[in-house]
Amino acid sequence: MAIYSDLGVPRIINAKGPSTRVSGGFLAPEVIAAMAEAATQCVDMAELQAAASRVIGRITGAEAGIVTTGAAAGLLLGTAACVAGLNPARMAQLPDVTGPQPEVIVVRSQRNAYDHAVRAAGVRLVEVGLPDRYAGAGVRDAEPWEIAAAITPATVAILYVDSSHSRPTLAEVVAVAHEHGLPVLVDAAAQLPPVSNLQALIAAGADLVAFSGGKAISGPQGSGILCGRRDLIMSAILQNLDLDLDWEHWNPPANLIDKHRLPGLPTHGLGRTCKVGKETLVGLLVALERFAAESDDSRQRRWLQTLDELCALVPEVAFSLRLETVPRLALALPHARQACFALQNGSPAVHIDPSELHLGKILINPTCLQTSDLPALANALREIMINSPA
């Protein structure tokens, strides 16, 4: 492979998982072929997003869906939709709207660095709840009544960051939100697998769900999905598409954009900053079909096989296997942090999952490893074992 060496950029071995910093994972040949084919012809982007909406709707159970440039872009577009609705004047104002600054309520323990994408739409995040269970001070977290008490006339949505330990449950948050006529926007960027989550969050009543395309779905690194309520998805795509044409000549696909609900044509929106290319869109759809068609068991078996093959190459290394949603190998080392640096500075550089370095462990995530990576990874691990003082 010459492309990276021609650019003078060394390749790395990605045992960390599909993080943006390490360029995500790799694409299946079918996804690459679809992207290459898509690159050779032009289409109307609104028609292509309308086709995407049909595929995403079928797979997620949502009324509509669009391909985005990532889950973060989905959060930006989804928030913009909650602020502007189908009002082109308000779309044009974003991120500064007249009147009180729009508010999005979020449980304090769910705050994270990715919610910058929500704030980028011009809203103020209003935190509720005291996460005692994280502070070690108790068992409680935010409660539904605290969300209800924070709702004001400026509230436009509730943000829910989904994970197995998120509290209150999504169903509880949806109940409060809908009682007050507010939408729930779910950040589910990394909540796949299980594959059932493609439908479960929508089924629990979420109005908008953002998934990352570059993580487990194994789509293009700069891709994602935003799916949910038809009117909100319509607002999101209106703020993302290039609409530089005349109202009379505009004939958008009816399953995605209902022209009759608009007083006129919106201008370039906030989401123009995260426009989606046709190749990315097609690649994501093919990857999504493949992801949805594979069972969690089959995926797990593939990943376990990769880890097995690695273990077989270095029988002297005492890994312990973690059977989690994504299985990982853990290796306890006396100087795990130094070992991590040594691996990163090796040739080829090896990036491991550093989330337990503070516990003296390096973790190997199989999802972005190819069989051809394994001998070099095994050598690098053998080397740090030899050089690691006992």
Name which of residues 98 to 127 contact ligand PLP (CB under 6 A): 112, 114
Record the tokens describing residue 272, joined without a space.
């123009």
- Among the candidate windows 185-193, 253-261, 352-360, 370-378, which touches ligand PLP by CB under 6 A? 185-193
Q: Which listed residue (102, 129, 214, 269) binds ligand PLP by CB under 6 A?
A: 214
CB-side neighbour CA atoms (13 Å) of 227: 29
Measured distance CA(233)–CA(78) in Å, rounded: 8
From candidates 20, 152, 169, 251, binder to ligand PLP by CB under 6 A: 20
369: contact with ligand PLP by CB under 6 A: no
Longest CA–CA span in the chain (Å) reads: 76
Q: Does 190 bind ligand PLP (CB under 6 A)?
A: yes
Size of site (CB under 6 A) for ligand PLP: 13
70 binds ligand PLP (CB under 6 A): yes
Q: Verify cis geometry, omega within 30 degrees of 0, for the bond prior to 194.
A: yes
Binding to ligand PLP in span 128-167, by CB under 6 A: 161
Q: What is the 3-state secondary structure (H, E, C) of 143-183?
A: CHHHHHHHCCCCEEEEEEECCCCCCCCHHHHHHHHHHCCCC
CB-nearer residue toward ligand PLP: 67 or 71: 71
For helices 45-60 and 278-293, the axis angle rounded to 10 degrees is 10
Please report whether residue 273 would count as binding ligand PLP according to CB under 6 A: no
Burial of 347 from C-beta contacts in 10 A (0-12 / 13-18 / 19+): exposed
Smallest separation (angstroms) from ligand PLP to the CB of 31 = 16
Q: Is 72 in the site for ligand PLP (CB under 6 A)?
A: yes
Alpha helix (H) residue ranges in 277-346:
278-293, 296-313, 336-345
Nearer to ligand PLP, 161 or 174 (CB): 161
* Site map 326..365 versus ligand PLP, x via CB under 6 A: ----------------------------------------
Q: Does 219 bind ligand PLP (CB under 6 A)?
A: no
Dihedral, 84, 88, 90, 94 alpha carbons, nearest 10: 90
Indicate the DSSP class of residue 190: T
Q: Write the interaction track for ligand PLP spanning residues 22-61; mark x where CB under 6 A is met and - where it is not.
A: ----------------------------------------
Smallest gap, in angstroms, from Cβ of residue 26 to ligand PLP?
16
Whole-angstrom distance, CA of residue 44 vs CA of residue 67: 15
Q: Is 17 in contact with 324 (CB distance < 8 Å)?
A: no
- Give the nearest distance from C-beta 116 to ligand PLP in angstroms: 10
Instruction: Pick from 63, 146, 187, 207 the residue near ligand PLP by CB under 6 A.
Output: 187
DSSP character at residue 335: T
- Using the contact rule CB under 6 A, the part of the chain among 70-78, 145-153, 293-301, 371-379 near ligand PLP is 70-78
Assess 220 for contact with ligand PLP (CB under 6 A). no
Question: Using an 8 Å Cβ cutoff, are 110 and 166 in contact?
Answer: yes
As measured in angstroms, the least distance from the Cβ of 163 to ligand PLP is 8
The pair of structure tokens assigned to 240 is 């993302």
> For residues 195 and 18, what is the distance between their CA atoms, to the nearest angstrom?
17
Residues that bind ligand PLP (CB under 6 A): 20, 70-72, 112, 114, 161, 187, 189-190, 212, 214, 224
